[in-house]
Amino acid sequence: MRKALKWVGIVTIAFFIFVILMNLFSDDVKNSKPPAYLTEKTVSTTTEPIVKKAEYRLIGRLDKPNIENIFFVVDNINIDRQSVEKLVREIEDKDCKMQCNVLLYDDEKAAKLDMEYSQLTTSDAMSAWKEKNYDFVKVHNVGQLLMGDFTYYPLKK
């Protein structure tokens, strides 16, 4: 019986020490915030998708006396019609020095191939290029702005 009382006393003293220590450190605990993933549940009330800011880079320019043709490759874009149109219009505002055509691709090789096609002068060379490259380029040409008119996936039609 004495042994049991001795253990009850030890447990009681340990409990009081624990309570005292908790009170000493409780200000730190009360003032600190738990991680957001434990307390906050983020619920989106918007129906618009979350989209990263598009990053694009210039691949090349083919200037003619009255018009510029500017070829870009884009990364980090939501490939929906509205996002692509918004981006090509932003590019037009930022990068065009005169009336221009903005051609946007999601693959650098496709952009370079289309630039190559734009420089061909004979119908035989154009036919050979189309035979070899058209199917690849049409999949990666996500949008273009030709003299102010936007087209989404223009070569797929």
H or E, element range at 53: none
Which one-letter DSSP state was computed for residue 11? H
Confidence (pTM): 0.63
With contact defined as beta carbons under 8 Å apart, do 142 and 84 qualify? yes
Q: Where are the domains of the chain?
A: 2-39, 55-156
With contact defined as beta carbons under 8 Å apart, do 105 and 111 qualify? yes
Q: Which of 127, 123, 72 is nearest to 95 (CA)?
A: 72
With contact defined as beta carbons under 8 Å apart, do 104 and 74 qualify? yes
pLDDT per residue of the chain (157 residues) written in tens, 0 to 9: 666 667 767 767 777 676 666 666 665 555 556 555 444 455 444 555 544 567 889 999 998 888 899 999 988 666 788 888 998 999 899 988 889 999 999 999 999 999 999 999 999 999 999 999 999 999 999 999 998 899 888 888 6
Q: Which of 123, 103, 100 is nearest to 113 (CA)?
A: 103
Angle at 130 between CA 128 and CA 133, to 5 degrees: 105
